[in-house]
A = this chain, B = another copy of it.
């Protein structure tokens, strides 16, 4: 049924070794021979058996992407960036979501992926997360997204600086009580969350503004959560006049909560998001823009490089951030004045 390398060898009148060399583009093959082998392989519709090739070569021929979520905006886009790069390589992309690490545990990826991948690509997860930490035991290169770790390649943005930029923008607008819609209570298994928290706090401290627990609420990175968080903040004794949400989706929920309370974003309460989600433009949301697809693409490229040059020293890449100011942020006005 399926052609084997021997069929090609026989048909081309050469040995299997030569077929192997010819097809893989290795040197020391007569151009004429190579071409003949190519023709025969083409004609007989031959494709190498990956299983056999992998067994013989010792290479797995694939890389695994470990992500907490697949369906969420950020992760989908990063994944897309990764896939586009890998498409151009010879490697298979194995997708493995580990779900929310705080939920019921699935089989840790390490155990299931043992011996079957040449490298890992990890999105957003802290390297000490249970189920993630184990992948470093495997002796394959790892490219980290949104995190760093000794001996690993990594790509990401400066979350601390991004959060600072967002909060500083609010400070510049005269706000003094600046709230935070975070993901969940620290510590979290997501690095960006920690870092944005630090950036938020640093900006406030530098400006000698209060950092109160009362100014923070968890939004769990969902629209619903953001809405609840904003509602919570509004119900506080002394509510913030501006809010920094750690993601655009949570900011969307915050905007909705404001409107539900008869408040106008920007005019009554300023909101800054984080991501550069397409909808932010449509909802007139000021936000920190990160190059999401490119983050994925660069990480994939880094991993490919690591596989090509095993000895090369891992690099850390930080991609630039931007801020788009829209109507959701404005100068602070005393609410009683309006």
Contacts and interface: CB of A to CB of B under 8 A. Distances in A.
Interface of A: 2, 47-52, 54-55, 60, 62, 65, 69-72, 75-77, 79-80, 83-84, 87, 92-97, 106-107, 111, 114-116, 222-224, 227, 252-253, 256, 278-279, 282, 293
Nearest to A90: B112
Nearest to A281: B223
B49 A223 contact: no
A283 B95 CA distance: 33
Given A70-B80, A76-B71, A83-B97, A115 B223 contact: no
Give the oligomeric copy count: 2
Given A62-B94, A71-B76, A87-B106, 4 more contacts: A50-B116, A79-B95, A92-B92, A256-B282
A311 to B, nearest CB: 19
Contact of A2 (B48, B79, B115, B256): B115
B50 A115 contact: yes
B55 A223 contact: no
B51 A55 contact: yes
Contact of A107 (B55, B83, B87): B87
A115 B49 contact: yes
A80 to B, nearest CB: 4
Contacts of A224: 278
B97 A94 contact: no
Contacts of A65: 95
A70 B79 contact: yes
Contacts of A279: 223, 252, 279
A282 to B, nearest CB: 5
Given A92-B94, A94-B92, A252-B279, A80 B71 contact: yes
A70 B83 contact: yes
A327 to B, nearest CB: 13
Contacts of A227: 282
Nearest to A79: B70
Nearest to A3: B115
Contact of A223 (B76, B107, B223, B282): B282
A94 B93 contact: yes
